Structure 1
Amino acid sequence: MLRGMYTAAGAMQALQRQQEMFSNNLANVRTPGYRADSASLRTFPEMLISQTAVNERTGARMKSTVGTIATGVYLQSATPNFALGSVTETGNKTDLQLMSDGGVPLFMVRHGDPLTGELEEEVTYSTNGQFNVGIDGLLRTSEGDLVLGEDGQTLNVGSEDFTVRGDGQVTDADGEVVGQLGIRVTNLPETLERLGGSRFGATEETEFSDVNEVNVRQGFLELGNVSVEETMAHMNAALRQFEANQKVIQAYDRTAEKAVTEVGRLR
């Protein structure tokens, strides 16, 4: 009985975490470049049950297999879906979209502390192409990260009247070249680690390929790839499963109450 209660309670915890993941996806529907998380419920390895009996005639111990028993479910690690999101033409020079025939293209960025302004040394990567220009003339993402050039340095474009060619070359309002947009392409996006929002970090398994096949489109913006209808359907299904496990626990609770108050009562 207790095993059944533990199994149902474990499933409710996994479903709750799954709902939190879906809710986070919905909250980022309009976040530029956001990649929706996805994860499925998986079962723990089953346990093999066997029994040992004694032969009354010979006294020999005999072992036989009864069967298997499930040990519950868990939510596997959330994996971002790097499918292309919806693309809209904004006409804003600060909006950039990356197109690639092979692999997933990423902007090179450097994250800074919003309170102290201190920059991290490690280069990270972003799918967010909605940029802005600060009073210092530096190009930043809408999340506040500094956009880097191919050389790993910040890009000072001066004002919002800058131009980005299809190959990533950046020129200011006077037509002077200020740098080359830092872009990386990976064919193993599943190896990237989400650091928050649309920012990712490379791991030891991450490999970057040639960026020659990447095309930069200025005035276009890629939105998040969250499907509202599909996410809502998954949330409703998870809610029904949560309620079903809740009823299982209530049934076990009533059974336990009868075992204590009725079966165990002295006549």
Structure 2
Amino acid sequence: MLRGMYTASGAMQALQRQQEMLSNNLANARTPGFRADQASLRTFPEMMIQQSGVNERTGIQSRGTVGTLATGVFMQAATPNFALGSITETGNATDLQISSRDGSALFTVLHTDPLTGGEETLYTTNGQFAVGQDGLLRTTENDLVLDANGQALNVVNEDFVVSADGAVTDGNGQAIGNLGLVVTDQPETLERTGNGLFRSPAALAAGDVKVDQGVLELGNVEIEQTMAEMNSGLRQFEANQKVIQAYDRTAEKAVSEIGRVR
């Protein structure tokens, strides 16, 4: 009985985490470059159930295998989905959209921790940028956008042009630099760090990336599918609630009846 209650309660915890993940996806459906998370639900290692007893005919104790029993479910991880989101034209020079046939394309940025002041090279798919008062191209979170050499990209003002291969020139056609664009064919290895930024366990290399200026990629959240998954998860959560309630009633009945035995 207790095993069943633990199994049901474990499933409810996993479903709650899944609902929180789906809610976050919906909340960021219109966030530029947002990558929706996907849940991975796994079962705990199965237990081998065996029975033992004494053979009535021979008097020899024997043991036989009954089968396996799953001991519960848990949410192993939330993995970002790197499929491209919907595209919208903005006409803003600071809005960039990238894509690649070699894998998932990302911008390279220099993130500064607001608490410690430490700097770290991270990656993002959010191409909504702005030009700071110092002329440097920055993200909406004020992180520096880096060029192909790992340096801050100074575009001076919004009068700049980005070609399809990521080369940046000013309004007079003078070369400024090249965007630090990288590609990964293993996006599942990227670690989400918040604010649309990702950390890579290994160095990422440049690849065949196409850049569109004045275009912005929104989140890749499929709203209808996400709502359906949330409704399905809610029904499963309620089903596990009823299982626990049934076990609770059974335990209450057993205690009350055992108490009357003399």
- Tell me which interval the TM-score lies in, with the shorter structure as reference length: over 0.9
TM superposition score normalised by structure 2: 0.94
CA distance in structure 2 between the partners assigned to 1:86 and 1:119 by the alignment: 34
2:252 to 248, 257, 264: 257
For the residue of structure 1 that corresponds to 2:188, the secondary structure is: helix
Q: Which amino acid aligns with 2:245?
A: Q
Structure 1 residue 260 displacement after superposition: 0.9
Partner deviation per Cα, 1:39-96 (whole Å, 9 max, x = no partner): 1322222211112212355442211112222201111211110001001111000000
Shift of 1:172: 2.7
Partner of 2:111: 111
Q: Is the 8 A contact 2:182 2:204 kept in 1?
A: no
Task: State the 4+ residue runs in structure 1 displaced beyond 4 angstroms.
Answer: none
SS at match of 2:260: coil
Task: State the Cα distance separating 1:157 from its structure 2 match.
Answer: 1.0
The offset of 1:174, in angstroms, is 4.2
Equivalent residue number for residue 179 of structure 1: 177
* Consecutive unaligned residues in structure 2, runs of 5 or more: none
Q: Equivalences for 1:13-28 in 2 at 5 Å? A: 13-28=13-28
Say if 1:188 and 1:207, in contact at 8 Å, map to a contact too. Answer: no
Once the two structures are overlaid, the 10-residue window that deviates more, 190-199 or 213-222, is 190-199
Q: Which amino acid aligns with 1:55?
A: N
Corresponding residue for residue 40 of structure 1: 40
Name the amino acid aligned to 1:48. Answer: M
Letter in 1 for 2:155: V
Relative to structure 1, the CA distance from residue 65 to residue 119 in structure 2 (aligned partners, 3 Å threshold; closer, same or farther) is: closer
Q: Distance in 1 between matches of 2:173 and 2:78?
A: 44
Does residue 88 of structure 2 align to residue 88 of structure 1?
yes
- What TM-score, normalized by structure 1, do the two folds share? 0.92
Which ranges in structure 1 are unaligned for 5 or more consecutive residues? none
Note if contact 1:8-1:248 (Cα within 8 Å) is conserved in structure 2. Answer: yes
Q: Is this contact kept in 1: 2:108–2:182, CA < 8 A?
A: yes
Q: Distance in 2 between matches of 1:221 and 1:59?
A: 79
More strand by share: 2
Q: Which amino acid aligns with 2:129?
A: F
Aligned residue number for residue 215 of structure 1: 210
* Corresponding residue SS for 1:152: coil
RMSD: 1.7
Describe the superposition over 1:174-218 as per-residue Cα deviations: whole angstroms up to 9, x where unpaired.
4332211110011111111111132111114x753x52x312111
Q: Equivalent residue of 1:84, what SS?
A: coil
Question: Secondary structure at 1:156's aligned position in 2?
Answer: coil
Q: In structure 1, what residue type is equivalent to 2:246? A: A
Name which of structure 1's ranges 215-224 and 159-168 shifts more when overlaid on structure 2: 159-168
